[in-house]
Amino acid sequence: MDRCSPVRPWEIGLVLVALCALGWVGLNRVNADWMNHLETPLDWTSRGVSIWQQLQAGNGLAPHEYPPGQFLVSAAFYSVFGFSMSVAMFSQIIFLVPYIAGCWWIGRELGGRGGGVLTLLAAAGNPWMALHLSESILEIGVSGLVALALALLLASRAGRVPGPSLALGVVLGLGMLTKWSFGFFMAMPVLWPVWLAWREKGSSRKLAAISLACLPLTLCALKSAIPEAQTAFPWTPYLFSLSVWLLLAAAAWRCWRTEGWNAGAATALAWSIGFTVCSWFYFLSIGAMQAKALDDLSHYFIGTPSWICLYGPLATCCVGAMVWLGLGVLVGLSSRDLRGFTLSALGGILLPLGFYVYTRAPTSTFYMLPATVPVLALSFGWWGRVRFAPVALAPLLLVLGVVGLGSWTQASPGKQPLVAMDDVIARALFRPRLVIVPPPDLGITPAGATAVRVLTELGRLGEERLTVVLPPGWHPLPNALFLEVATRGRFLQVRENHVDLRQEPLPEIETSLVVVLEGPEPMTWPEPWQSRFELLERWDGENHGWWSLHRRFRARTEPLASKWLRSVIDSGEVLGWMGARDQGFPKRGLVFSLDPGPTPI
């Protein structure tokens, strides 16, 4: 690949316009879906709020099932601007910057200015990105960092240029700190410099081989850290792994100073930097992440809908998207200077796709969202090398992007029944349409009504904790309540219990207030529950059952004077005390002593 020509001002302007257009579509979706928690938009925002609370309280990060990179970005926004719907959304849209800029630069590296424009238009018109912007998913951040990583990989000439290679190491660490699946999409691309280092021989080959050997060594150290991570941070295996990678980085630095830059030094330094950026979290949370992974893989999902959900994002904004991709792969494999990137990008598509299909784990379209970056690059980046092709294809991509975004802005294919996903994807591929639907008036949702009543009751009780009892599998709804409360400037400690109140023993509940999701029909409460809790209010949650708020029965507390007199009575000095007004005596009251006859005080 030849060195790119200088960047023109009109290219920067086009990038900004594409970024604003895709961001506007995302905001349009949020205006229609935000806080409509019957469909749980921005459900994951609650994790960012929780981390923000922990950091504000001066507490460190606790072990989590998922890396906190995107949540930390949201927490930083909340610290500066406070929590609100717009701030939460903007903290996610910020990842569109590396997504749009990265796709543009990838196309520019592959096909010059024309390739950059075509890839930029295809990325901005990708309806799957706009579709998922209102869901607050980690794949938004992963997609942006995949685009940035591939752009730096091309800018570094697969490890031949020092600056982009070192920056690539930082992005690799941030990507793994955003979600572990980032490794699936970048595993094959980062092997491209390893292959070049192996061909260079000498110290370059040795550094690449040692870098590869450090990977299983790190995995063994992570496995050995699981028992210690259950109770404390596993310092011993972490420091051992860190020292190994730092020694590798020192060797690569020495090789760079003495023999010059090579692909082996690029691999060693980039991987060492990436490990340093993200490894602390994996050693901290390896126990929780292992439990989450085992739980996900233990479920058996239907294979066909899973395959359809994964295939959907690969069909991007264009009619016959797989035809564009197949043509791009053929051209890339036939061109010597495009062959390395084509193979690595194709591996970045097929590796996660094969893993997800084999495990049958995902049933949602967002799992393959980061794969749209190499799909768009392979489909359109090379067209910039064909004379007059950018001029002919740019209007087509612009029209298809506008039509695609319009047809998907209000229609959510991920929310359709899985059995109908093939028809939904077919409509997107071959019958794009422009549909402009005004945002619906959502009114107050069950979560909003519950939040108002909960805050009122907690104010009376002087508590900040709440228990939510749900049927198994209804996990997003407590987060909906959590966010509703957060938008009102309050924060709750929400504890979830997944039980069936009509079949299982009553759970141990320590809080005074309990929110119960009852199912499609209002419940008849079991006798033990009725004796312990009183029903305060119930709301119809439409497709997600009924919501009900309960308060624990509390024994009436005696006044302080009554407690003192009761202690006197228990000591045997007096028999009891009662109000003077109730017995017709003076207002000062009576004391019944052991002697017969009342004695006024």
3-state SS string for 87-148:
HHHHHHHCCHHHHHHHHHHHHHHHHHHHHHHHHHHHHHCCHHHHHHHHHCCHHHHHHHHHHH
The whole-model pTM stands at 0.79
Q: Taking a C-beta distance cutoff of 8 angstroms, is the pair 249, 267 a contact?
A: no
111 occurs within a structural domain = yes
- Residue 370 is given by DSSP the state G
Give the Cβ contact number of residue 582 at 10 Å: 9
H or E element, residue 494:
strand 493-498
- Pick the closest to residue 113 from 19, 13, 17, 11 (CA basis): 11
Cα distances (angstroms) measured from residue 50 to each of 58, 140, 156, 333: 13, 20, 38, 47
Check residue 539 and give its pLDDT. 76
Residues 307 and 193 in one domain: yes
- Residue 6 is given by DSSP the state P
Q: At what angle do helices 191-200 and 263-298 cross, to 10 degrees?
A: 140
Check residue 544 and give its pLDDT. 60
Alpha carbon 501 to its chain centroid, in Å, reads 31
173: amino acid identity, one letter: G
Q: Given the structure tokens 């090789």, which residue do they identify?
A: 255
Residues 372 and 462 in one domain: no
Say whether 413 sits in a helix, a strand or coil: helix
Residues 541 and 572 in one domain: no
338 occurs within a structural domain = yes
Question: Could you give the angle at the alpha carbon of 65 between the alpha carbons of 496 and 451, nearest 5°?
Answer: 35
Q: Taking a C-beta distance cutoff of 8 angstroms, is the pair 178, 282 a contact?
A: no
Residues 491 and 594 in one domain: no
Q: Given the structure tokens 């009183």, which residue do they identify?
A: 534
Check residue 440 and give its pLDDT. 40
d(CA 145, CA 152): 10
List of E strands, 545-589: 546-552, 574-578
User: For 70-77, which contacts have Cβ atoms below 8 Å and span 24 or more sequence positions?
Assistant: 70/95, 70/138, 70/140, 70/141, 70/178, 70/179, 71/44, 71/47, 72/48, 73/48, 73/141, 74/45, 74/48, 74/49, 75/48, 75/49, 75/51
Tell me the H-state helices in 299-371: 303-314, 321-334, 336-359
d(CA 444, CA 354): 43
61 occurs within a structural domain = no
User: Who's near 503: CB < 8 A, 6+ residues apart?
Assistant: none
593 occurs within a structural domain = yes
Q: What is the largest CA-CA distance in the chain?
A: 116
d(CA 601, CA 553): 36
Check residue 591 and give its pLDDT. 33
Residue at which a domain ends, from 552, 570, 588: 552
62 occurs within a structural domain = no
Check residue 169 and give its pLDDT. 96
Per the structure, the complete domain to which residue 358 belongs is given by 9-41+95-430
Residues 423 and 517 in one domain: no
Q: What CATH number did the domain enclosing 486 receive?
A: 3.40.190
56 occurs within a structural domain = no
Residues 274 and 334 in one domain: yes
- Residue 66 is given by DSSP the state S
583 occurs within a structural domain = yes
Residue at which a domain ends, from 383, 399, 430: 430
Residues 327 and 204 in one domain: yes
Residue at which a domain ends, from 374, 406, 430: 430
Q: Given the structure tokens 């499609």, which residue do they identify?
A: 520
Q: Taking a C-beta distance cutoff of 8 angstroms, is the pair 353, 193 a contact?
A: no
- Pick the closest to residue 509 from 552, 457, 557 (CA basis): 552
Say whether 179 sits in a helix, a strand or coil: coil
The stretches in the chain having pLDDT less than 50 are 33-41, 408-443, 556-566, 568-601
1 occurs within a structural domain = no
Check residue 19 and give its pLDDT. 85
What tokens appear for 490 in the block?
């309050």
Q: How many domains does the chain have?
A: 3
Cα torsion through 431, 437, 443, 445, rounded to 10:
10
Check residue 157 and give its pLDDT. 93
Residues 548 and 565 in one domain: no
d(CA 26, CA 129): 8
Check residue 346 and give its pLDDT. 94
In the sheet that holds 599-600, the strands lie side by side as 574-578, 590-593, 599-600
pLDDT digits (tens, 9 = 90+) for 15-61: 988 888 887 776 665 555 444 443 444 556 777 787 887 787 777 78
Check residue 353 and give its pLDDT. 86
Residues 466 and 420 in one domain: no
Question: Could you give the angle at the alpha carbon of 378 between the alpha carbons of 376 and 384, nearest 5°?
Answer: 95
Residues 372 and 473 in one domain: no
Residues 142 and 270 in one domain: yes
d(CA 100, CA 119): 9
Residues 310 and 451 in one domain: no
